[in-house]
């Protein structure tokens, strides 16, 4: 079968790989119908996540048709068209029982700090991902969800990560009616977080990024205020001024390790890999949230120490909430929102690229070429 193959920093290609096999009685094999590239994949692509081994197939946002099931699979049937949450979750460990499906303790041998994630390095469990024709899906009765007949498959594929992550980013903000919410990052996750902030009753939503085409998009889509940090000097000062000099009630970091805007953070975090990524957006978020405010982090960082102004967190009395999205927990509510038309995720998809052109797809998304917001890889028709 055809599968994306990571070769080293910035180098990926399409290759012929052996078909995945059932290795556990609760496994299913799924023929992929759509598979996205995510901002999280860029951390792997840039070589900033430790234990990212050449030969791995990335891809944690995919839909597909079940072609084979293991002996213990009961709910899922061959032929079902499913959307597969990016978290691999057993459904019964202490964390899954608390609905922390992104923190499962039975799916990632290499690290206790994160649950298993499809195609997300060995630090994420060493599982092959969905940027391929076929993929092995463990715990098939727990995560995979049959796509409702009336749902567009492009909406379904974004329910595997982008929609729940953006929604949980807003949810973790503990937004109260009337709150001012600032979202750092106008990628798919930040755009969705800005959209969802309204669902929790925000009074004002501001998005910060450096790419005008994404700011234009989110201004219309969320809808919200959107500003380019390249044209504001000091973003923290700009945001203070915009909020009566008090700061925002809630700040959301939807940027993560690849943040631009500060030379020292870029050097230490993205060039020398001396910290778990560049924490520029996180730094701005801490300093522009109000005293007693809430900081919600969904941007992904590496496992080693990262420079942030932690003293300000203490002195300002900031509450920090963060996690990998718990996709399964949120799916019932979010499927409702998509079916009712409150959320229209498929409008984020700007590029549909054949799986065979995966190297170009990564370049386009990574370098933000051709006004790319969200690319979807389409495997050859079967």
Partner 1 sequence: MNQTIKDPEAIPGWGIDANPSNDPAWPIKIRDGARVHSALWNRPPQQAATVEVLVSNEYPHLPAVTGVSSPPSGLSGMLRRWAFRYSESSYGHWLPLMLADRINAFEGIILDVIKGRPPHFMAELGWPAEWRYNRLNLVLRNLLRLVLLAAVIWGIVALCRRHA
Ligand X SMILES: NC(=O)c1ccc[n+]([C@@H]2O[C@H](COP(=O)([O-])OP(=O)(O)OC[C@H]3O[C@@H](n4cnc5c(N)ncnc54)[C@H](O)[C@@H]3O)[C@@H](O)[C@H]2O)c1
Task: Give the binding site for Zn ion (CB under 5 A).
Answer: 38, 40, 61, 90, 93, 96, 104, 106, 161
Q: Indicate whether 256 belongs to the interface with ligand X (CB under 6 A).
A: yes
Residue 330 Cβ vs Zn ion, minimum distance, rounded to whole Å: 14
Identify which range of 68-76, 142-150, 204-212, 237-245 contacts ligand X by CB under 6 A.
204-212
User: DSSP states of 237-298 as a string?
Assistant: HHHHHHTTTT-EEEEEE---TB--S-HHHIIIIIIS--SSSB-HHHHHHHHHEEEEEEEEE-
User: DSSP states of 107-172 as a string?
Assistant: S-SS-SSS-EETTSTTTTT----SSBSEEEESSTTTS-EEPPTTS-HHHHHHTTTHHHHHHHHHHH
Q: Indicate whether 275 belongs to the interface with ligand X (CB under 6 A).
A: no
Residue 149 Cβ vs partner 1, minimum distance, rounded to whole Å: 30
Length of the chain equals: 382
Q: Indicate whether 267 belongs to the interface with partner 1 (CB under 8 A).
A: no
Supply 90's token pair: 């057993």
Whole-number Å distance between alpha carbons of 129 and 152: 22
Residue 159 Cβ vs ligand X, minimum distance, rounded to whole Å: 13
In angstroms, what CA-CA distances link 104 with 18, 84, 141, 315, 361?
28, 16, 15, 33, 31
The DSSP symbol for 19 reads: P
Identify which range of 33-41, 86-94, 233-241, 310-318 contacts partner 1 by CB under 8 A.
86-94
Nearer to partner 1, 34 or 127 (CB): 127
Backbone angles phi, psi at 9, to 5 degrees: -50, 130
- Taking residues 150 to 169 in sequence order and writing x for each that binds ligand X by CB under 6 A, - otherwise, the string is -----------x---x----
Site for partner 1, rule CB under 8 A: 7-13, 23-26, 47, 50-57, 72, 88, 90, 92-94, 97-100, 105-113, 116, 122-123, 125-128, 138-139, 168, 171-172, 273, 302-304, 319, 321, 323, 326, 329, 359-364, 366-367, 369-370
Site for ligand X, rule CB under 6 A: 38-40, 42-43, 161, 165, 184-190, 208-211, 214, 229, 254-256, 259-261, 280-281, 298-300, 324-325
């Amino acid at each position: 079968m055809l599968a994306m193959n990571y070769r080293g920093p910035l180098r990926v290609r399409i290759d012929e790989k052996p078909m995945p096999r059932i290795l556990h009685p609760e496994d299913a094999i799924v023929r992929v119908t759509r598979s996205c590239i995510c901002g999280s994949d860029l951390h792997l692509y840039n070589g900033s996540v430790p234990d990212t081994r050449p030969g791995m197939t990335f891809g944690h946002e995919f839909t597909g048709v079940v072609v084979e099931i293991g002996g213990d699979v009961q709910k899922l049937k061959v032929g079902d068209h499913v959307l597969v949450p990016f978290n691999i979750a057993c459904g019964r460990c202490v964390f899954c029982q608390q609905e922390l499906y992104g923190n499962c303790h039975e799916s990632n041998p290499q690290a206790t700090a994160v649950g298993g994630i499809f195609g997300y390095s060995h630090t994420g469990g060493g599982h092959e991902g969905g940027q391929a024709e076929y993929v092995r899906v463990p715990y098939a009765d727990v995560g995979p969800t049959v796509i409702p007949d009336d749902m567009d498959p492009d909406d379904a594929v974004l329910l595997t990560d982008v929609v729940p992550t953006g929604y949980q980013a807003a949810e973790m903000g503990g937004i109260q009616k009337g709150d001012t919410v600032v979202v750092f990052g106008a990628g798919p996750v930040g755009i969705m977080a800005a959209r969802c902030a309204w669902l929790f009753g925000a009074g004002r939503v501001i998005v910060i990024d450096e790419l005008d085409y994404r700011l234009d998009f989110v201004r219309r889509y969320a809808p919200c205020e959107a500003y380019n940090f390249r044209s504001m000097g000091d973003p923290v000062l700009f945001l203070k001024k915009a909020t009566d000099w008090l700061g925002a009630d809630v700040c959301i970091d939807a940027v993560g390790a690849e943040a631009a805007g500060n030379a020292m953070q870029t050097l230490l975090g993205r060039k020398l890999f001396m910290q778990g990524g560049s924490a520029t957006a996180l730094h701005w978020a801490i300093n522009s949230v109000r005293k007693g405010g809430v900081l919600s982090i969904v941007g992904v960082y590496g496992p080693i120490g990262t420079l942030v102004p932690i003293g300000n967190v203490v002195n300002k009395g900031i509450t920090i909430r963060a996690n990998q999205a718990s996709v399964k927990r949120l799916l019932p509510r979010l499927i409702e929102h998509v079916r009712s038309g409150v959320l229209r995720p498929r409008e984020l998809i700007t590029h549909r690229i054949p799986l065979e052109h995966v190297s170009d797809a990564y370049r386009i998304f990574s370098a933000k070429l051709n006004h790319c917001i969200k690319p979807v890889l389409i495997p050859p028709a079967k």
